[in-house]
Amino acid sequence: MNIFYFDRSPIVSAQAQPDKMLVKMPLETAQMLCTAHRELDGDEYADEVGLYKRAYWNHPCTIWASHTDANYYWLFEHFLALGKEYTQINTKMMILSKLIATTVSTRSITLSGNEIVVSLIGGPYEYH
């Protein structure tokens, strides 16, 4: 369960992922996004639309994803870009990308703050 941060832009960061990493990163990212919804908004909506079950809630990356809406939406955009990159090597990912994009984007999440908090990613910004 990780977020590989190659660039400030979530799209460029996804494009920089080596193909070998793209095999698991969309799934891990989807789990973090779904867990944020479950933890902050409850299970009812998540169950209704078929989001993943709560996973790795105490992991630093999952905590980071739900810390502010800027973090969450950076990760959401990154997820969509990862899906696009992944579909270039595997069309099965298109199904997951569409499901999560539809269900997650149709509901606002209860978060606060509008700046990305880099310190929770795993160290000082200069190491990213």
Q: What is the pLDDT along the chain (128 residues), one digit of tens a residue?
A: 789 999 999 999 999 999 888 889 999 999 999 999 888 888 888 888 888 899 988 899 999 999 998 999 999 999 999 999 988 777 666 667 777 777 666 555 666 666 665 544 444 444 44
d(CA 62, CA 53): 13
For residues 100, 106, 60, 44, the Cα torsion angle rounded to the nearest 10 degrees is: -90
pLDDT at 108: 59
pLDDT at residue number 102: 72
pLDDT of residue 128: 43
Q: Residue 32 to residues 25, 89, 126, 127: CA-CA distances in angstroms?
A: 11, 23, 24, 22
